[in-house]
Structure 1
Amino acid sequence: MAAIASISFHGVTQSSSERKICLPSPSPSRSSVSNFDAIRVRTTFSFRSISVRPSKSSSRFAVHCMSTGSEAPPVSETKLKFLKAYKRPIPSIYNSVLQELIVQQHLMRYKKTYRYDPVFALGFVTVYDQLMEGYPSDEDREAIFQSYINALNEDPQQYRADAERLETWARAQNSSSLVDFSSKSGEIEDLLKDIAERAGGNGSFSYSRFFAVGLFRLLELANATDPTVLEKLCAALNINKRSVDRDLDVYRNLLSKLVQAKELLKEYVAREKKKQAERAEPQKANEAVKSFLAENYDTRK
C-alpha cells in the first residue's frame, strides 16, 4: 500500500500566477475507506487569528471582543466534545487533517484577543468544504462541520450564514467595486472598513491564514483574481500582501497533496474491489457446479 506521511505548511514556494483554489476528487466507497489506514495526511498549521461568538445586536456582522470569564478549556476537552458529538468513524485521510486543524483552531479560539470575523469564517468554510470534498456522505460531512464548530463553543449556523452573505455580495462585484469598498455604504462595505481600520492600527486585528483564504474567495467570486487586484485590496485593507501570497500558496500546496492522497485512496479501493471480485469467482463456479449436479441428480431420480 502506498502511504503519504505528511503534508506540511512549511517551506512552500510562493507563486503569484495562479490564485484559484479547487479540489476535485473522487467519492470513494465508505465501507472500504473506513478501515483504510495506509494513506495518512498530516498537516502542520500555524495560525495567528482572532474571532468571537455572534452578536445579539441588529447588525448581522457585528464584531466584538470575547470575554471567557474563566480559564480556557484544555485542547483535550475540545477534541473530546467533537468526538462525543460525532461518533461515527471518519476515514483517516480526512480525520488526520481534522484532528490537526481542531487543535490549532482551539489555540486560536481561546486567545485573549479572540474576535469573530466574517471574512475569517468565509475562509474556514471554504477550506473545510475543499478539504472534505469527495467525502462519502454529504450528510455526514455537514454533521462533522456542525460538531467541529460546536466543539469550539461557536455557532456553525453563523459561520455558514456569514459565508453565504459574503459570497452573495462578492458575486455582484467586479475588480473596481471590490477594491473601492471604502467609498461605498452597505453592510459588508462597513465590515471591510472596520477591518481596514483595525488592521491599520486603530483597533485589535490579528491576521490569519483563514482570513487570507476568505479574502481570495471574495476575489474569486467577483472574477477578479488578477494579482494586481489582490494587491490593491490588501492595500485598502491594510493587510500585508506578502503574507497573503504565502498563505494562499501554502493552501494550494495542501490541496494539491490531498488530491494526490485521494487518488491513491481511489486506486486502493478499486484494487480491493477487484480482489473481492476475483475471490468471489471460484465460489460462484463451485456453486454453479453444485447446482448443476443437484439438478441432474434430481432428474435421474
Structure 2
Amino acid sequence: MAAVTSVSFSALTQCSERKPAFSSTRFLGFNLAALRFRSNISYHYAAVGASNSTSKMIIQCMSSATDVPTVAETKYNFLKAYKRPIPSIYNNVLQELIVQQHLMRYKRSYRYDPIFALGFVTVYDQLMDGYPSDEDRDAIFQAYIKALKEEPEQYRIDAQKLEEWARAQNPNSLVEFSSREGEVEGILKDIAERAGGNGDFSYSRFFAVGLFRLLEMANATEPAILDKLCAALNINKRGVDRDLDVYRNLLSKLVQAKELLREYVDREKKKREERTESQKANEAISTCLGQSINSLASRH
C-alpha cells in the first residue's frame, strides 16, 4: 500500500505547465505560514451621550480568538462528525483541503457565493469519485461543510441550480447575462458588481473551477468565451487560467493515483481469495485425516 498512501495532496497538485510546480497550498492560494493565527484584537471605539450626560464607550470587537475558530478546531469538528475511517488516498487530500478552505472561509473579505459552491462541489466530486460507498461519500461531504459552519444543502442546491442554468445556455447567452433578468443572472450581476468596484469580493481557486464548470455545462469550449465571461464578471483572466491549469493537472494525477488504488485492491482481493481457498483445502484435509484416524481407532 506504500505506493498508494504516499500520494499526498501536494504531489497531486504538481503542475508541469507554465511553472515548475505547485504545492497543495499553491493550489488553493495560501501559504501554510498563514496558519499562525494572530490573536491581536482590533477595536473600534465610539463615544455616545447617555441620558445622564455621562459618556459611555462602546467597544466593537472586529476580530478575536473567539470569533475565528482555529484550524485544529475545524479539523476536530470534521472528525467528530464523521468517525469512520477514510482510506488514506482520500483522507490525505481531505485533511489538507479542509485546512486550505478554513483559511478561505475565515478571511475578512470572504462571502459565500454560488459559483464558489459550484467550484467546491465539482472539486469534491472529482476527488471522491470511485469512493467505496456513495452513502459515506455524502456523509463526509456533510461533515466537511458543517465543520466550516456552513450549510452542505445550500452548496448542493446552488451547484445544481447553476448547472441546470448553464445547460440551457449557449456560449453567447452565457456571457450576456447582464442583459437579462433571472435568479442566476442576478447572482452573476452581483458578483460582477462586487468584483468590479467596492472590493467586497474574494477570488479563490474554487471560484475559477466554478466558472470552468459553467463553460463545460454550456458546451462553451472556445477560449474566447472564457475571456468574455471573465471580462463580464470583472475577474482577472490570467489568474483563472493559472488556476485551471493546476486543476486540470490535479485531475490527471488523481486518475493515476486511483488506478494505483484499484490495482492494490485487486491484488489484495486475489490474495484473500487464495488464502481462503488454501484454508478450505487445509480444513478439508484435516477433516479427512481426522475421520480416517477415528475410523482406525474404532476398529481397534
TM-score range, shorter chain: 0.7 to 0.9
Q: Corresponding residue for 1:31?
A: none
User: Is 1:277 matched with 2:273?
Assistant: yes
Q: Distance in 2 between matches of 1:204 and 1:14?
A: 30
> What is the aligned counterpart of 2:137 among 131, 137, 141?
141
How much has 1:88 moved relative to structure 2? 0.5
User: Structure 1's 273 and 238: CA in aligned 2 closer, same or farther, altered over 3 A?
Assistant: same
Gaps of 5+ in 1: 16-41, 49-66
Q: Given residue 239 of structure 1, which amino acid in structure 2 is its aligned partner?
A: I
Greater RCO, 1 or 2 (C-alpha within 8 Å, sep 6+): 1
User: Is 1:167 matched with 2:163?
Assistant: yes
Q: Distance in 2 between matches of 1:293 and 1:76?
A: 60
Q: Distance in 1 between matches of 2:287 and 2:156?
A: 58
How much has 1:207 moved relative to structure 2? 1.2
Q: Corresponding residue for 1:200?
A: 196
> TM (normalized to structure 2)?
0.78
How much has 1:274 moved relative to structure 2? 2.1
Larger Rg: 2
User: Is 1:92 matched with 2:92?
Assistant: no
Q: Distance in 2 between matches of 1:280 and 1:159?
A: 45
The answer to whether the 8 Å contact 1:125/1:159 transfers is: yes
Residue by residue over 1:31-69, the C-alpha shift from the partner in whole angstroms, topping out at 9 and shown as x without a partner, is: xxxxxxxxxxx8334337xxxxxxxxxxxxxxxxxx888
Q: Corresponding residue for 2:253?
A: 257
Moved over 6 A (4+): none
Q: Given residue 180 of structure 1, which amino acid in structure 2 is its aligned partner?
A: E
Bigger shift: residues 133-142 or 196-205: 196-205
RMSD of the TM alignment (CA)?
Answer: 2.4
Alignment of 1:151-166 (within 5 A): 151-166=147-162
Q: What SS class does the counterpart of residue 255 from structure 1 fall into?
A: helix
Q: Distance in 2 between matches of 1:264 and 1:10?
A: 18
Q: What SS class does the counterpart of residue 7 from structure 1 fall into?
A: helix
How much has 1:10 moved relative to structure 2? 5.6
How much has 1:164 moved relative to structure 2? 1.0
Aligned-pair identity (%): 70
Bigger shift: residues 286-295 or 90-99: 286-295
How much has 1:191 moved relative to structure 2? 1.1
How much has 1:200 moved relative to structure 2? 1.4
How much has 1:85 moved relative to structure 2? 0.5
The answer to whether the 8 Å contact 2:14/2:249 transfers is: no
Bigger shift: residues 265-274 or 171-180: 265-274
Residue by residue over 1:63-90, the C-alpha shift from the partner in whole angstroms, topping out at 9 and shown as x without a partner, is: xxxx888521111111111111111111
User: Is 1:4 matched with 2:7?
Assistant: yes
Q: Distance in 2 between matches of 1:264 and 1:256?
A: 13
How much has 1:279 moved relative to structure 2? 2.8
Q: Distance in 1 between matches of 2:177 and 2:112?
A: 21
> TM (normalized to structure 1)?
0.78
Q: Distance in 2 between matches of 1:71 and 1:166?
A: 32
The answer to whether the 8 Å contact 2:29/2:205 transfers is: yes
Alignment of 1:50-199 (within 5 A): 71-199=67-195
The answer to whether the 8 Å contact 1:47/1:105 transfers is: no
The answer to whether the 8 Å contact 1:197/1:203 transfers is: no
Q: What SS class does the counterpart of residue 271 from structure 2 fall into?
A: helix
Q: Corresponding residue for 2:214?
A: 218
> What is the aligned counterpart of 2:283 among 276, 287, 293?
287
How much has 1:140 moved relative to structure 2? 0.6
Residue by residue over 1:75-119, the C-alpha shift from the partner in whole angstroms, topping out at 9 and shown as x without a partner, is: 111111111111111111111111111111111111111211110
Q: Higher helix proportion, which one?
A: 2
Gaps of 5+ in 2: 31-61
Q: Corresponding residue for 1:55?
A: none
Q: Distance in 2 between matches of 1:237 and 1:75?
A: 32
Q: Distance in 1 between matches of 2:101 and 2:131?
A: 22
Q: Corresponding residue for 1:29?
A: none
Bigger shift: residues 286-295 or 141-150: 286-295
User: Structure 1's 72 and 276: CA in aligned 2 closer, same or farther, altered over 3 A?
Assistant: same
Residue by residue over 1:230-257, the C-alpha shift from the partner in whole angstroms, topping out at 9 and shown as x without a partner, is: 1111111111112111111101111111
How much has 1:264 moved relative to structure 2? 1.0
Q: Distance in 1 between matches of 2:71 and 2:120?
A: 19
The answer to whether the 8 Å contact 1:14/1:245 transfers is: no
User: Is 1:241 matched with 2:237?
Assistant: yes
